[in-house]
Amino acid sequence: MSNEFKGKTAVISGAAGGIGLALAHALAEQGMNIVMGDIDAVTLAEASETLKEKGHNVVTCPLDVTDYTQWESIVAKAKDTFGKIHMVVNNAGVGGTPGKIEDTEHATWRWVMDVNVMGVLYGAQACVPAIKEHGEGGWILNVASMAGMMGMPYAAAYCASKAAVVSMTESWIPELQPHNIHVSVLCPAFVKTRIHESHRNRQEKYAVAKEKRISKEKLKAGAQAAATAVESGIPVSMLAERVIEALRSNQTYIYSHPNYRKVTSGRSKAIDMAFIDAEQSPVVGHLINDDIITF
């Protein structure tokens, strides 16, 4: 697949701010046409002006990633405006509410899973046919997180959603490789954005009845810790520059925080040790030479 971006078209979800907006600028600098979608229409309009002022080709479309019909609309708008789609950046995501197992409302889990997982699925389902149809190949860039590579206490919903994004990416790579569509997953640690204020975009359909709401007092410590961590993060411009670099060399896993390598290598080591335990098991050890079955 060519990694030449110039003249091609990228659809970006959650493009009104943070990482999505930084990626919009970085991809536009590479000569791409940019289609920006976001649930926050006012901020989206302001954000698109910052690209237009630089002379970039950009169009916006309202997009709540949990609503598939809005994905159909943004795809239609992208094709009407620029003819073809080559890339989807599944960036929109929410942080949820850090809290204990028993202090995380079901509605919060559903919100996080719908935006972070179903939003990514819908983005791929809406855009992949459009990328396949011109035969020029393209890209899916899924924005997961280091949280997809490690569990974190009090953040199970967010971590589970991001692990799902890693897994979806790994499943789509072999499926889309024959179509020249490169699938990659971005796994940053902390980046200075407004992710810790995700509640500003929480849709009415995920509201929690007053009597079931967890007290603000209980959630305060987690919220403060999340804010402090996010505010210590790297700048979005640095992340966006790293993404362009990694896309150019066709990376599958895109890391921006090399200091976190010990996390993934520690996890791999623990998994490997568990396999050694299985190999030595009198119950299942004899399976060691069997063929691996996949489909």
State the residues that interact with ligand NAD by CB under 6 A.
13-14, 16-20, 38-40, 63-66, 91-94, 115, 143, 145, 188, 190-191, 193-195, 198, 201, 230, 233
Closest distance of CB 187 from ligand NAD, Å: 7
| Cβ at position 68, least distance to ligand NAD in Å | 12
**Minimum distance of ligand NAD from residue 99's CB (angstroms):** 17
CA distance 19 to 1: 25
d(CA 145, CA 165): 9
92 and 14 Cβ atoms separated by less than 8 Å: yes
Q: What are phi and psi of 166, to 5 degrees?
A: -60, -45
C-alpha distances in Å from residue 42, one per residue of 24, 37, 48, 81: 17, 12, 10, 21
> DSSP string spanning 204-240?
GGG---GGGPPPHHHHHHHHHHHHHHHHTSBPHHHHH
Indicate the SS3 state at residue 126: helix
Nearer to ligand NAD, 1 or 223 (CB): 223
Alpha-carbon distance of 32 to 24, in angstroms, equals: 9
The DSSP bridge partners found for residue 138 are 181
Q: Which of 122, 158, 206, 255 is catalytic?
A: 158
- Catalytic site residue 206? no
Which C-beta is closer to ligand NAD: that of 48 or that of 91?
91
Distance between CA 195 and CA 227 in Å, rounded? 8
Quote the least distance from Cβ 120 to ligand NAD, whole Å. 9
Query: Of 5 and 122, which CB lies nearer to ligand NAD in the complex structure?
Result: 122
* Alpha-carbon distance values, 102 to 130, 161, 207 (Å): 43, 18, 18
Per the DSSP assignment, residues forming a β-bridge with 88 are 11, 140
CB of 19 or CB of 164, closer to ligand NAD: 19
Structure tokens at 60: 């916006």
Does residue 5 contact residue 30 with C-beta atoms inside 8 Å?
A: yes
Nearer to ligand NAD, 8 or 202 (CB): 202
At its nearest, how many Å lie between ligand NAD and the CB of residue 6?
25
CB atoms < 10 A from the CB of 47, how many? 22
CB of 66 to ligand NAD, least distance (A): 5
CB-wise, 19 or 78, nearer to ligand NAD? 19
Write out the two tokens for 93.
């995501």
Indicate which residues carry an active-site annotation. 158
